């Protein structure tokens, strides 16, 4: 009789290695052409994060701040090439998730300028 671990190994014996090889191909080919040099992109993102966080520290962050950080990561990429439609979609997704998380965390609808119907639904 096979153990649970042995069964797992039979299903995907090299999953970790396959994943790492796949990622290796992605990051070592045309990625820089699409998103620029990683160091430049990361530095841009650091500047965006510093501007967003201001004087706040990690203990001051809320769940929705993580969604904003995801948005800033995508903005850093769009600074290189605004034609990446997936980055635009990711930003929209992070924004929707961030708003939903804020509403759940605060128990309020939040404030909506110019669209009162968004403010009244919680």
The pLDDT tens digits of the residues spanning 9-29 come to: 656 668 889 989 988 888 888
Residue at 28 is within a domain: no
Phi, psi at 64, each rounded to 5°? -65, -20
Q: Is 62 exposed, middle or buried (0-12, 13-18, 19+ CB in 10 A)?
A: middle
The pLDDT tens digits of the residues spanning 40-93 come to: 999 999 999 999 999 999 999 999 999 999 999 999 999 988 999 999 999 999
Instruction: Please state the domain count of the chain.
Output: 1
Q: Is 94 exposed, middle or buried (0-12, 13-18, 19+ CB in 10 A)?
A: buried
CB 72 within 8 A of CB 114: no
Q: For residue 101, what are the domain limits?
A: 37-109
Is pTM beyond 0.75? Reply is: no
Residue at 22 is within a domain: no
Residue at 15 is within a domain: no
């Amino acid at each position: 009789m096979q153990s649970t671990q042995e069964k797992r190994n039979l299903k995907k014996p090299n999953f970790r290695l396959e994943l790492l090889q796949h990622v290796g191909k992605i990051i070592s080919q045309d990625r820089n052409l699409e998103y620029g040099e990683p160091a430049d992109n990361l530095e841009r993102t650091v500047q965006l994060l510093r501007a967003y966080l201001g004087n706040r520290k990690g203990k001051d962050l809320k769940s929705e701040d993580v969604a904003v950080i995801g948005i800033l990561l995508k903005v850093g990429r769009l600074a290189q090439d605004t034609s990446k439609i997936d980055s635009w979609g990711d930003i929209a997704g992070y924004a929707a998730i961030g708003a939903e998380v804020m509403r759940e965390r605060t128990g309020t609808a939040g404030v909506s300028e110019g669209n009162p119907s968004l403010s009244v639904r919680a």
